[in-house]
Amino acid sequence: MKAALAVIALLIAAPSLACGDRIRAGSLDLATATLDDITAALAAKRVTSVQLVDAYRRRIDACNGELHAIISLNEAAMSDARVLDAERAAGRLRGPLHGVPVIIKDNIDLAGAVTTAGSLALAANRRDTDAPVVSQLRAAGLVILAKSNLTEWANFRSSRSSSGWSAVGGLAVNPRDPTRSACGSSSGSAAAIVAHLAPLAVGAETNGSIVCPASVNGIVGFKPTVGWVSQRGIVPISHTQDTAGPMAARVSDVATLSAAMVTPDHAAALAGPMRAGALRGARLGVIRFIDGFSPQTLAEFEKSLAVLRNAGAQLVDIRSFDYADLRDLEGTILRAEFKTGIDAYLSTTPPAVKSRTLAQLIDYNRAEPRELQWFGQDTFEASQATGGVDDPAYAPALQRALAIAREHGLDRLLKDNAVIALVAPTNGPAWKIDLVNGDRGVGSASLLPAVAGYPHLTVPGGQVSGLPVGLSIIGTANDDATVLALGLAYETARDAR
């Protein structure tokens, strides 16, 4: 017992003073530098991409021992930065993020690097090619700096997991209060932004895995419409719900990174500046029917609603909506899609990876004590018991769930109330880490847009006892630009108070 308590104490210890030390890149102090500061310094040639990569690596060295936000560094980052610096010197820029470092979640394939999804079973999963989203980031001029920690298998191994923990990366903690959860599964990506380990990060979401860590860490996170970002080369859970998405300190940063991530078919929708004053005259539906939020969280939500009103929005309360069986339907869908999807992904791994099927992953975990030291694999086992997407229960569940979440859900709520988007608290504040009992529910707005595959943005919306809580803005399919514009307008109005 003493040994176990010592491990917990080590994992959740407060960040060292070294993490707060000033680490400079050219004229920039990375502990305070914003994305605007970085791009301006690069343009003025007051800093180089090589200097940024070197300085952020030193900051990761100083901070990561306590935060466990990063699983691995990209060995090619420095050589990539040199190429981008040479292109800038020759007057060739790939875009507004040319030379800017970005961190990607370690379930996304990066050529020459290992993709672990946090699992020791994938420790030899060195990839030969980039995921398409990584290729697009490179084409936009970004430097892949590192891969972030995550809840193992994107939080799909157990119903009693602790967010942020993986056997490979340890426990990613919340930099605002390291005794509290960073949420998951994109916990490391969120923590990295708060700790200024990079100005930009990429997360991935099936249901809440971008917006929850963004909300409880006090940053911006965006889950785009499913299909706007290619999911090839990303360890899957669900082909109907999975998507990668951007995470950053500001809405404008997230919008710029999103434009670099979306497929060419959708790039035009995010081209150019977002519409100013998007809240003036905008009718927004206020979700009042989600249970689980504390009175303090709801009080902060009311403050956010006041900001929206003062910026010119017209608010319409929506007090009831029955989607009681949607979560059960989602479980049926995800278990079947995971069984099929993970077997397909594992078949692409190199021969050194010995677990080639979900059944073999389950056997590996049973034989490897480090994997099951804190929580089990009941979700894996339930998925294995399905027939995959050929299971007789799968297609009816998917059809019903999509009807509830889309046609009879978000789309009907938008239409019947004549509103262009919905707003809600994203989550409650971060809960105390408890590796023995797992996560604690604090309320969540992610289910409907997750199952529907619709865009969902979270923006910092206040604090409860010093802990961040987020404001969610949810739109209909392919209305990503509107959701981002509303978020920027809210952020601007909030900061002007």
Nearest to 187 by CA among 382, 393, 439, 463: 439
- Which tens digits make up the pLDDT trace of 383-401? 999 999 999 999 999 999 9
Q: Tokens 């991530």, residue?
A: 261
Query: 249 with 220: CB under 8 angstroms?
Result: yes
Q: Is 440 helix (H, G, I), strand (E, B) or coil?
A: coil
Burial class (CB in 10 A: 0-12, 13-18, 19+), 43: middle
The answer to whether 212 and 181 have CB atoms below 8 angstroms apart is: no
Catalytic residues: 105, 185, 209
Lowest model confidence (mean pLDDT) among 5-9, 241-245, 278-282: 5-9
> How far out from the chain centre does Cα 449 lie?
15
pLDDT attached to residue 298: 98
| Token duo for residue 141 | 């001029």
Amino acid 273: pLDDT: 86
Token readout for 405 is: 């979440």
Q: Does pLDDT of 4 surpass 70?
A: no
Residue 137 and residue 114: Cα distance in Å, rounded? 18
Q: What is the pLDDT of residues 217-240, one digit of tens each?
A: 999 999 999 999 999 999 999 999
The pLDDT assigned to 291 comes to 93
pLDDT for res 8: 31
pLDDT at 495 over 50: yes
Contact assessment for residue 235 and residue 150, using Cβ atoms and an 8 Å cutoff: no
Q: Where are the domains of the chain?
A: 7-270
Both structure tokens of 435: 């590796």
Predicted confidence at residue 280, as pLDDT, reads 98
- The architecture in CATH of the region 7-270 reads Alpha-Beta Complex (3.90)
Q: Tell me what pLDDT residue 276 has.
A: 80
Lowest mean pLDDT among 10-19, 73-82, 420-429: 10-19
3-state helix, strand, coil in the chain (%, to 5): 40, 15, 40
Closest to 341 measured CA to CA, from 359, 358, 364: 358
Mean pLDDT of 313-339: 97
pLDDT number for residue 272 = 85
Contact 68, 106 (CB under 8 A): no
Residue with tokens 């298998």: 153
* H-type alpha helices, 262-402: 264-267, 295-310, 326-346, 358-367, 378-384, 394-402
- Overall average pLDDT of the 97-125 stretch: 98
- Which residues have a Cβ under 8 Å from the Cβ of 314 and sit 6 or more positions away? 281, 282, 283, 284
Full-model pTM: 0.95
pLDDT grade, residue 279 (50/70/90)? very high
Count the Cβ atoms, other than its own, within 10 Å of residue 51: 20
Q: Rounded CA gap, 151 and 166, in Å?
A: 6
Calpha distance 190→167 (Å, rounded): 19
Contacts of 398 (CB under 8 A, 6+ apart): 240, 329, 333
Q: 320-324: which pairs have CB atoms within 8 A and are 24 or more residues apart?
A: 320/289, 321/289, 321/409, 321/413, 323/404, 323/405, 323/409, 323/447, 323/448
Amino acid at 16: S
Question: To the nearest whole percent, how much of the chain has pLDDT over 70?
Answer: 96
